[in-house]
Amino acid sequence: MIQLHDLQFEPFISEAEIEEAIAKVAISLNEEYKGQNPVFVGVLNGAFMFASDVIKRFEGDCEVSFVKLGSYEGTSTTGTVKTLVGLNQKLKGRKVIILEDIVDTGNTLEEINRILEIEEVADYQVATLFFKPEAYKKDFEIKFKGLEIPNKFIVGYGLDYDGLGRNLTQVYKRKE
């Protein structure tokens, strides 16, 4: 059990399970993008660990960029996604892989889709470490999924609760 701010969290997903999920995503990406030069776009802050681990396992040429979007306050989504830091490179005509820590409602993906349409990318796919099918409300395809999980609030491995918990090597769920 751990305490972050005013909430308690209990162990949920082990470091070994996370490593296995990342390896699965990386194998699929290597097969899909063999011989190509995709641009990985990590969604900050949460995806920094996942992005690093996936990109290290990518066997071909690639480029890396980041965007910073925000939609959470405390343990719940505000329903509004704000672009806090935009893209720093042009993506017109490029193949892009979005690296997300977690996909729940899909609101962040909607904003990313808007950004990528403006950028006129050739194609993009989404790779996420965690996917919450119960919470997902959009129609964007999530092609590469590490783990499908229930709709619980989690922290660790890049995910936080009001700034704390990102550095944890395993994932914890809110104690009910």
**Which are the catalytic amino acids?**
104
The rounded distance, in Å, linking the Cα atoms of 122 and 145 is: 22
The rounded distance, in Å, linking the Cα atoms of 99 and 87 is: 14
Closest CA to 76 of 107, 53, 97, 51: 107
Q: Which two tokens stand for residue 83?
A: 């672009």
Residues 6+ apart with CB under 8 A from 76: none
The rounded distance, in Å, linking the Cα atoms of 157 and 16 is: 12
The rounded distance, in Å, linking the Cα atoms of 73 and 64 is: 28
* 71 and 108 Cβ atoms separated by less than 8 Å: yes
